[in-house]
Structures are given as structure tokens and as C-alpha cells.
Structure 1
């Protein structure tokens, strides 16, 4: 009798797991959303809370769900991040993971470089630059506020190109003949200000990751200075680190 009951319990967990997996795949519970409370969810599925918890735990083991001891179960967000030691654009990172990248242009302005920007980009003060700011999203979820200052002396075509839903790196290559080769990149933690929080759909003061880059073409020319503000729950930075060989 025990083995029959155990088989039935296992089948109930499997069925619950499959139903929840299908719901996640169909987007019934979008990334980042909170699942209904265990009591209500178990009732809607027609199973016991113990059966539900086993199915939820299995989904958590697969990194599809995560549990907060205070707030309940949440659908994990899609997380992007550069592969170790590989420079990719936001669009390339997204496509490599089967996600749909979108870019909404918040600012596209040609103006003189400030003294600080001129020093960063190794250009003369007041040289023309493109001041570009975009909101980047993955599958409709806002992930990053991306600001770039591009030296237009190297890529004058950019002044007239609409960069909505376009990769800046790929546009530099295909339309301007500049292949991005490397980037000097730093990352630090910060708190979202009111304007950034509104764009990223988080609360003011929530943690964000700030990436700052100086990007070079393959001929060594400094092309752009960028600043990317990522939701901390949607971005991960990876790097390969090597110890020097001792004498």
C-alpha cells in the first residue's frame, strides 16, 4: 500500500511540475513576477501544499524560480552577462541567449565635447560628438540605461542613423567601417536614482550595477566612452583572472 501511495504522490508532483513549467513557458507568470501564495496556488492546481512545494523546489533547482522567505516564490529574470574575456554588444549578448533585445532612444544629440569628454576620447575640446542615451530591454523587460559619447570625427555617419533597436557596435562596423576590438571596462555597485528607477521599473534606491567603458577600434583609435546602468537582478559580469607566473 505504501508503494502505491508513493507512486501516486510522485505522479502528482510530476504533473504539478509539468503544469507549472508550461505556465512559465507560456508567460502566464512573467520573469520577475511573484507567484500566487502557496495556499491559493495549490487550490487552483487541485493539489496539496506538500505536493506543490516539491514541484516548486524542482523548478528552483532548475533556476526557473527563486524563493524569498518573506515574500514567497518569484519567477527568475533572464540574466545577461558577457562571457569571460569576450567583448560583446548588448544585442549580441541577448541574441546568444535566445532573447529579443530592444533599444528605445532617449537622446540622440550632436554637440561639442566637454573638456572631460575630450580628454577621455583623446580629441580636441569642442570636437563634435554624438551624445546617445538608450533604454535597453530583453523580451520587453527593461534591463539597462545605456549612455554613450562617440567621437564623430571617426564615425560621422552616426549623426544621421536611427539607432532604435540597433547594435551600436554592429552599426560602427557595418556603416562606419570601424570594428570594435577591445574595451577598458569597470563595474561598480550603486543605488538607482529616481529617474533611472522609473526607466528600469525598480524602486528608487534599489541596487544597480554601473559599467563604464572606453572602447577602441582595431586600429587603436578611441571610439566611445560609455556608461551602462543595469538592474542588479538582470545582469552579471564575468571575467577570467590569471595570476602572474613566478620566477
Structure 2
């Protein structure tokens, strides 16, 4: 299924695209290996690395946090970053990636934009608390947005996150900011790693028809996702309602037997 005016988003598991911070981490790791860096060697400053790779300090810090989570670099409180253990190069492989909407747009040369419908902090319900492994009534950041690619409306998105994982969520304007970039910039960084993901088709509600600008015959594809961070902790519960003509889900399936 195709749309003449824009490439189709393929969901949050893209096997041929990486977020900018992961590409930056890969470039840095390749450079460390190519230059023969050893355990204990000090990395250039964050300012120098940002300039070298042409990325923002936020992206660079997310890349360093990615390498830290893999045990490749380590920070110190006052002297910057050091090589911890490079290890052997990993074999090249196409693996599914947990990818945010803004990340998808960036790597595919599209312009993502959002209209915030509501952004509140409220108590978590019992079902939400069970899925996110938090106490019932704990502060939950609840975000509803309408998402666009190149000014075409694509998806109605509802995100719920424990406020404790990133208090800055409540102060961020998600009409402009990326949710995943905000999580990666948290202290400590929250790196989306694994997600339980399901997709089903259904008819739209009247409000969905209005917001997504469809007729009553247009099917919706509804994606439900529970995302886990680098410590295998659930950090995001999301429901996305896509226009059926502007969404394609793609996955690689293997037989491990």
C-alpha cells in the first residue's frame, strides 16, 4: 500500500535505520578501534566530539551513554570520558530497532511535526501501574499528540510514562521536542531498548475520523507498545492510531530451531 505524497512510516521497528545518537556511537566506536585506543585512554572533550561528528551536545551525550551502557566507555566526575573496554568488533547484522517517530523522520529525510492535544501529570491506574511496574497512584505523564510527516497527518498517539524516570517530561513542550530525545537526555539517560509491540485493525471512532481527516470507511491500524530501557525497566506505554493508508509495518522473522 502506497501514498503518492510521502513514504510510509514502517512502525517503530525499522531494520534499516538507526537514530542519530546510535549512528554517532557507532562512528565513535569505529574511530576508537581504528586508532588503536586502549583501556584508560581519555576521549576528546564533548565539545570537540560534537564538532567532529556534526551533532548537538545532547545527541553526543546520548551516544556516550549508549557506549557506557555497553561497557565501552566510562565517565568521571571531573575529567571527562575514558575508554573502558573496546572488545571485538560485532558482526554486521540487521536487527530491529526501537525507534521513535522523530527518529524515523530524520533518518528518512522527512519533516516530523506534532500538535499536542493534552499533556498532564495524573495518578497511574492499577492496570497502568501493573504494566509499568510502578505503584498505583504514582505520578504518570500522560501525553496525547497528533503526528505529521511533511505536513500530512499520520497518527494519533497516546504516551504514558512514569514521571520518576524523567521529571523533565512535565516541563517539556512536545509540540517541538522529541520524546525519545528527552528520555535519552535524562539523568540518568533512559535508552529505549526493547519493546513488546502489537498491531490490530479496526474502524475509527468519530473523534479519530475528525483528527485523522478520514471517512468512515478508512480502516485504522492500532499499534500498542510497551517499551523497556537499558535496565529492562518498562518506561513507556503507547497506543498509536494510524491512518490505514499511511502506515506499513515490517518485521524480519527467523526460525531459531
TM range (shorter): 0.5 to 0.7
- Partners of 1:193 and 1:205 within 8 A in 2: no
The structure-2 alpha-carbon separation of the partners of 1:76 and 1:217, relative to structure 1 and needing over 3 Å to count, comes to same
Task: Determine the structure 2 residue equivalent to 1:174.
Answer: 185
Task: Determine the structure 2 residue equivalent to 1:114.
Answer: 125
Task: Please list every run of at least 4 consecutive aligned residues from structure 1 whose deviation after the TM superposition is greater than 6 angstroms.
Answer: none
Mapping of residues 61-100 of structure 1, within 5 Å: 75=4, 77-81=6-10, 82-84=13-15, 85-100=96-111
Q: Say which SS state the counterpart of residue 193 (structure 2) adopts.
A: strand
Q: Deviations over 1:17-55 (max 9, x none)?
A: xxxxxxxxxxxxxxxxxxxxxxxxxxxxxxxxxxxxxxx
Task: Determine the structure 2 residue equivalent to 1:220.
Answer: 232
Task: Determine the structure 1 residue equivalent to 2:86.
Answer: none
Does structure 1 residue 187 correspond to structure 2 residue 199?
A: yes
State the shift of 1:116 in Å. Answer: 1.0
Structure 1: how far apart are the matches of 2:5 and 2:145? 24
- Partners of 1:211 and 1:228 within 8 A in 2: yes
Task: Determine the structure 1 residue equivalent to 2:156.
Answer: 145
Does structure 1 residue 162 correspond to structure 2 residue 173?
A: yes
State the shift of 1:78 in Å. Answer: 2.8
Task: Determine the structure 1 residue equivalent to 2:46.
Answer: none
- Partners of 2:6 and 2:150 within 8 A in 1: no
State the shift of 1:161 in Å. Answer: 1.1
State the shift of 1:77 in Å. Answer: 4.2
Structure 2: how far apart are the matches of 1:133 and 1:205? 24
Bigger radius of gyration among the two: 1
Structure 1: how far apart are the matches of 2:204 and 2:106? 27
Task: Determine the structure 1 residue equivalent to 2:246.
Answer: 234
Structure 2: how far apart are the matches of 1:216 and 1:156? 17
- Partners of 1:208 and 1:232 within 8 A in 2: yes
Structure 2: how far apart are the matches of 1:93 and 1:239? 15
Mind listing any 5+ residue stretches in structure 1 that lack a counterpart? Answer: 1-62, 67-73
State the shift of 1:204 in Å. Answer: 2.7
Structure 1: how far apart are the matches of 2:182 and 2:167? 12
State the shift of 1:150 in Å. Answer: 0.5
- Partners of 2:126 and 2:136 within 8 A in 1: yes
Task: Determine the structure 1 residue equivalent to 2:218.
Answer: 206
Q: Which has more helix, going by share of residues?
A: 1
**CA root-mean-square deviation:** 1.7
Higher relative contact order (CA 8 A, sep 6+): 2
Q: Say which SS state the counterpart of residue 119 (structure 1) adopts.
A: helix
- Partners of 2:146 and 2:156 within 8 A in 1: yes
- Partners of 1:101 and 1:165 within 8 A in 2: no
State the shift of 1:244 in Å. Answer: 2.7
